[in-house]
Amino acid sequence: MKLIKTSQKSIYYVQNKNSITYYFNYKEPLTQKSKRKKLFSKEKHLEKHLRQCIIQSEEIKKDLKNFNSSEVVEEIKYKNYYNLSKLGTLYFDYRYNKKVRMLKERYNHLNDEEFKENVLVKKKLYSIIREKRRFERHTKNTELSSISVNKITKNTINNYIENNLSLNLSQKSKSIIISIIKTIFSFSIQNDIINIKSPFEFINFKDDKRRRERVLSNEEIKLLLKECLKYDKNKNVYLSVLLGVLTGSRSNTVLNIKKSDIDINNKTISLYNFKTEKQFQIMLNDESVEYLKNEILNDRKTNEYLIKSFYNQENKIEQKQPLYYIPKKVYSIMDELFNKELNKKNNFDRDKVVNYHTLRRSIGTNLVREGTSVYNVMKFLNHSSIEQTMRYLNIENNEIHNDVVKLMNNIFK
């Protein structure tokens, strides 16, 4: 194709068999690569057609001017033409690689192969992978993730929230997704990947701060333990619930308890809080000490994890790495006992579902109801503050009010 110059700068035409076609040549602002834009075709070249060429070329220049922060040409290092999907990839890759470096420093006693196969390492890295999948699942194939970030408007965001975020998602889940997107923009701006204002800066997406309502009574906890004990095919079912009740701990803490963490003589168990990364110790009652001593500890090596996979348990293989999850049978028993009438897809029913974490909340709440001070419950749950414990416990306001009235009555009698 032979381009023929015209009297107007950057405007050319091509002679076709029965017509001519006008083109406008320009440089792409960020990459500085030459581009050519087809304008229109006419039967033959006339000077009057150039006026129309000039009008169209000015429109193209105007679009280029608005391409990046209202500047015609911007430093090439800024990537305001990236879409949200691309920025998300950069953000999660950075987080993943940074986490790998930190974990390698912490577990410097492991060689590369051991590090790669270590369950604790996998679990910590999986939290980033899971967050990335959540982001991709809820932004994929949307206008928000496909257009250049400098073209995202408030209207684009509102359209995404109203039409793309699943109606089945809880308000909290929606809030988390918006928070992830905000963080991706903050990361991209702070690291000089883009230099525009975050279009999410003034988007306030409220999290309704709803919390789990269901708390098991002492009788319900006894019933759960009794039903789990019946399932004698796999001791882990009863053991995982027993340890959850005894320690009031999160599942990852329970799954990482080793034989060496239990001191039979002093009746204590050492625990690790993965959320705060702190070690702490609690007391065990006589009955639980006897059960662990007679039913569990004799079959475990010193540094072996208490909760074993069913395969390792059946074949008497040492459990060298902690399990990822609490046995599924525990959840099926909980469903059978407490969740039969609930629709887990319903946002309001979700707050009433009994799951493994319900044990932790139930133990803390029941301790307070039976007279234990909130401070002692805070220490038992390994919380960082009284406020955190108060938000966590399912203690009705009228219960607190009754306690205050009782105290005041004693003072002012």
* pLDDT per residue as tens digits for the range 12-50: 999 988 899 999 988 876 566 788 889 999 988 988 899
Please, which pLDDT band fits residue 69 given cuts at 50, 70 and 90? very low
* pLDDT per residue as tens digits for the range 86-123: 999 999 999 999 999 999 998 888 888 888 888 778 88
Q: Which residue has the higher pLDDT, 331 or 27?
A: 331
Q: Helix, strand, or coil here: 149?
A: helix
Report the DSSP pairing between strands 278-283 and 268-273.
Answer: antiparallel
User: Are 327 and 236 within 8 A, CB to CB?
Assistant: yes
Average of per-residue pLDDT across 340-364: 86
396 exposed, middle or buried (CB, 10 Å; 0-12, 13-18, 19+)?
Answer: exposed
Please, which pLDDT band fits residue 72 given cuts at 50, 70 and 90? very low
CA dihedral (112, 323, 301, 293) in degrees, to 10, reads: 160
% of residues, the chain, pLDDT over 70 = 88
Provide the mean pLDDT of the chain.
85
CA distances from 209 to 14, 171, 175, 213, 392 (A): 65, 9, 10, 12, 12
Predicted TM-score of the model (pTM): 0.62
The amino acid at 267: K
Q: How many CB atoms lie within 10 A of CB 377?
A: 22
* pLDDT per residue as tens digits for the range 133-191: 999 999 988 899 999 999 998 889 988 988 888 666 777 788 889 999 999 999 999 99
Which of 174, 152, 29, 33 lies closest to 85 in space, CA to CA?
152
* pLDDT per residue as tens digits for the range 125-142: 988 999 999 999 999 888
Predicted confidence at residue 68, as pLDDT, reads: 47
The secondary structure of residue 68, as a DSSP letter, is B
Predicted confidence at residue 221, as pLDDT, reads: 95
- The CA distance from 262 to 289, in Å, is 9
- Residue tagged 């932790």 (tokens): 360
